[in-house]
Amino acid sequence: MTTILSFLSFVVPFVVVIGVLILIHELGHFIVARRMGVGVERFSIGFGPILLRWRGKETEYCLSAVPLGGYVKMMGEENPLEGEGSGVVDPAKSFSLKPLAARFLIVFAGPGMNFVLAAVIFAALFMVVGRPVLPSTVGPIRDGGPAAKAGLRGGDRITAVDVTPVASWEDLLGAIQAGGGETRQITFVRDGREHRAALTPAPSAGRSSLARGRQRRASARGISWSPWMGLRYCLLTSWPSKSKSAPARRPSSPSSAPAGR
């Protein structure tokens, strides 16, 4: 019995998540096809034997037995999964007779809707639990690095670079890198007392960085509304770039961290 429950606890969430992704994907094709004047004969979630079906004015909606895919069967195209043609259709509603731009939008709408869904999910997460933030607190210091030469110690909390206040590691890196490698005056708090020191960043791959001073663990900072942050995070996690990384996956050494945004 325990094995069955364990199996179901994995399978049921998997099917639900896959089902939502498929529904949003196919809904993108469906909505844009209708907007472009293409007739839709069938909107199906799943493959194989049909479990439920209901017919609208022009479209048959189906829920099939195998919930690992779906399809939108449009007039004027052949469904390769079923080997069925659409027969004689109104040329004005035929997918194959639409301009190339319209067909491109219909095809692109599926993955486009999945991207929008990802951005919405990230935005919702940021609204509820906040976004990960690395505080500007210095971790272990290695001998010989700029942090050690400036007199910093583990546990020091940097509060300003020159006259620019900083509250996170991202703010700190941005303020230091904006100086182009020049010596900066930093303000930090140690044992409740404020101190100042001169810091000369070390060059690293053409950028200046506070080398050999590690960050503390990330905390969460809540924000009330974050659709733009969700879109930004979605772009950072999906765009193929070696120089970008998600906020929660910052490297432990700031000498290898990306430039401040």
The total domain count for the chain is: 3
Q: Does residue 89 sit in the same domain as residue 8? A: yes
Predicted pLDDT at 88? 62
For 204-248, the pLDDT digits (tens) are 544 444 544 444 444 444 444 455 555 566 666 555 544 433 333
| Bigger pLDDT: 241 vs 134 | 134
Contacts of 131 (CB under 8 A, 6+ apart): 220, 221, 223, 226, 229, 233, 247
Q: Does residue 23 sit in the same domain as residue 127? A: no
Q: Does residue 150 sit in the same domain as residue 37? A: no
**pLDDT of 259 strictly over 50:** no
Interval 68-86 mean pLDDT: 70
> What CATH number corresponds to the domain at position 187?
2.30.42.10
Q: Does residue 84 sit in the same domain as residue 122? A: no
Predicted pLDDT at 35? 93
Predicted pLDDT at 145? 83
Residue 138 placed within a domain: yes
Q: How far from each other are the two terminal CA atoms of the chain, in whole angstroms?
A: 52
Residue 17 placed within a domain: yes
Q: Does residue 242 sit in the same domain as residue 123? A: yes
Residue 163 placed within a domain: yes
Residue 215 placed within a domain: no
How many percent of the chain have pLDDT more than 90?
26
Question: Active site residue: 26, 60, 78, 170, which one?
Answer: 26
Interval 68-89 mean pLDDT: 68
Residue 47 placed within a domain: yes
Predicted pLDDT at 89? 66
Residue 254 placed within a domain: yes
Domain, as residue range, for 138: 133-206
**Mean pLDDT for all residues in the chain:** 76
**pLDDT of 113 strictly over 90:** yes
Q: Does residue 229 sit in the same domain as residue 261? A: yes
Residue 231 placed within a domain: yes
Q: Does residue 82 sit in the same domain as residue 141? A: no
Residue 26 among the catalytic residues? yes
pTM of the model: 0.54
For 21-70, the pLDDT digits (tens) are 999 999 999 999 999 999 999 999 988 889 999 998 889 999 998 888 89
Provide φ and ψ at 231, rounded to 5°. Answer: -65, -40
Q: Does residue 195 sit in the same domain as residue 248? A: no
